[in-house]
Amino acid sequence: MMKRRILLVEDEIIIASSIQKWLEDINYTVTGIAPSAEKAMMLIEQQIPDLILMDIMLQGDMDGIDLADKIHEKYSVPIIFLTAYSDENTLERARISGPYGYLLKPVNQKDLSIAIENALYKHQEDNLYQKKAGFEYPMLDAVNAGIIISDEDGNIAHINRWAAVHCGYDLKKVSGKPLLEVFVRRDIHEEAEYSTAKIEFPNKQSSLVKYYLSPILDKDEKTTGILLYFEKIS
């Protein structure tokens, strides 16, 4: 069986070397050690890893959370954050970026191994779920706004990463439910391009959003679904 590839993004060389040895001891391949966002992106472009271990504090202007957002714009790779910081602001920023795990330093080999296995399994399950449903929209996860797609009957088929992380939508829970039942809106103002509405999201947050609904057409101009695009205003 091919060894799983892990990229280690860590600017403390002693910590990085220890983690690399741990990973190799439990049969993972470390594709590289990157102390900065620039070096990490270069290594990812050379070889896409199966998972990234990401320190939040890095060399340079971009921290690990910003780097994770940048990676997600182009690649579907699970990320586990490593950090010595546990303040509420850092934790909230990390949560919003949608990691597959979060470990506080100092990290031990057992916790690291469990976190990696859980992240790889969850990422695999997420991919399989979408494939079984017949819907794969990787580019939509790079959009910095909410996107929900329905099938031709108006039932939800896909929710992008932004809508899941920022609004609390869970594809497994709402898949197959009517789009306009899940996205309950109280329209405030309608325009040709956008409408404005007050929405209460699954995460219990209530926000003013601007949105539009657009039909998805096939090559014969037949409607095969509906695309809902929305952005939070407040």
Strand partners, 221: none
* 174-226 residue pLDDT tens: 888 888 788 877 665 555 467 888 887 887 777 888 888 888 877 777 888 88
Strand partners, 6: 30, 51
Out of 53-62, 157-166, 216-225, the most confident range is 53-62
Q: What is the CATH number of the domain that holds 146?
A: 3.30.450.20
* 93-114 residue pLDDT tens: 777 667 788 888 889 999 999 9
Q: Which residue has the tokens 């340079």?
A: 60
pLDDT at 136 over 60: no
* Same domain as 103, residue 152: no
* Same domain as 129, residue 142: no
| Cα 178 from Cα 185, distance rounded (Å) | 13
* Same domain as 123, residue 64: yes
Q: What is the CATH number of the domain that holds 117?
A: 3.40.50.2300
Contact of 65 with 82, CB cutoff 8 Å: no
Six token digits for residue 199: 């929405």
* Same domain as 142, residue 127: no
* Same domain as 129, residue 29: yes
pLDDT at 189: 56
* Same domain as 103, residue 37: yes
* Same domain as 211, residue 190: yes
Which residues form the domain of 31?
5-133
DSSP 142: G
* Same domain as 155, residue 129: no
Backbone angles phi, psi at 124, to 5 degrees: -65, -45
Six token digits for residue 166: 């920022």
* Same domain as 142, residue 129: no
* Same domain as 144, residue 79: no
- Give the pTM: 0.62
Residue type, 33: I
